[in-house]
Structure 1
């Protein structure tokens, strides 16, 4: 039976589920089953999700109306490191929508959840009349990089930085220009 999944704004009761996904991904990294570049207790944490919830820019994907299987932060906040990227499409902050901390429960990988979340993000941009999309990932995260390439995102630059408290990050900046907006 196919699970029914939907994306919606997060609410307080979703935080534990989101934090559980963060921990499951970090567990995989610590077992060398994934290479994301995150650190337990540093980034991301339940507080990362709580701050986004409080700002109103945290979204979740739930399965069958109850289980959180994915999460992302979507807003117009471009992290400071983006200033060091040679963007192909220079744009004012008001003209850019940014996807942060997209996660899918490892138990749901290969089920189209990531693709659905990116499609949702792009649709939000279209509805808001925003043409430029940006996001980032760690250079170590080859799975995400390949996924975003398949979704039409380009890598205009890699920025060396301390990112969200994690030292030595090679931050891959990604962008896409939407051809059609509403």
Structure 2
């Protein structure tokens, strides 16, 4: 298993993972709250790549997971009841749009990616971690709780072009 910076040639595969997750949702086998053609799309992955913030996980040469990692807190975070309100912006790392291909779920890829994110944050001087997920995404919420992330609130909003989202904001502080 290898996690690395994304490359141009990875975009189609990352977009395919997004589509596979949305297909699972459309067929009633997942509930993440995404909308095909709205979010996430190939452009979502391309924007992350162009910002040099796209990371992909490979297993045996196949991309099985991806995420965007940066220090940018989305505007909706201003409405969350963060426990660490005193955390300096420059010391906060944010995980966005973590995806694992449904065909590869249950193999620990999500947990491994979050561990990578935590190490990346520490390596970059950021002990304060933040992320979000849709209130509907019970599996992500269980995973993040298991990994020590605290839900600090649910912000009602329109998010990434999707209306009426309950945005679950999560945080963790590393020592």
Same fold, judged at TM 0.5 (above): yes
Q: Secondary structure at the match of 1:129?
A: coil
1:85 equivalent to 2:85? Answer no
Structure 1 unmatched ranges of 5 or more: none
Question: 2:160 and 2:141 mapped to 1: Cα distance?
Answer: 19
CA displacement at 1:51 relative to structure 2: 0.4
Quote the RMSD (CA, aligned, Å): 0.6
Superposition misfits of 4+ residues, deviation over 4 angstroms: none
Query: Which residue is 2:65 aligned to?
Result: 70
**Aligned residues between the structures:** 174
Q: Does 1:7 align with 2:3?
A: yes
Deviation at 1:64, TM superposition (A): 1.4
Relative to the length of structure 2, the TM-score reads 0.98
Q: 1: CA distance between counterparts of 2:49 and 2:12?
A: 12
* Residue of structure 1 aligned with 2:30, choices 22, 34, 47: 34
Q: Distance in 1 between matches of 2:24 and 2:66?
A: 17
- The secondary structure found in structure 1 opposite 2:130 is strand
In 2, distance between residues paired with 1:64 and 1:55?
Answer: 27
Structure 2 runs not aligned, ≥5 long: none
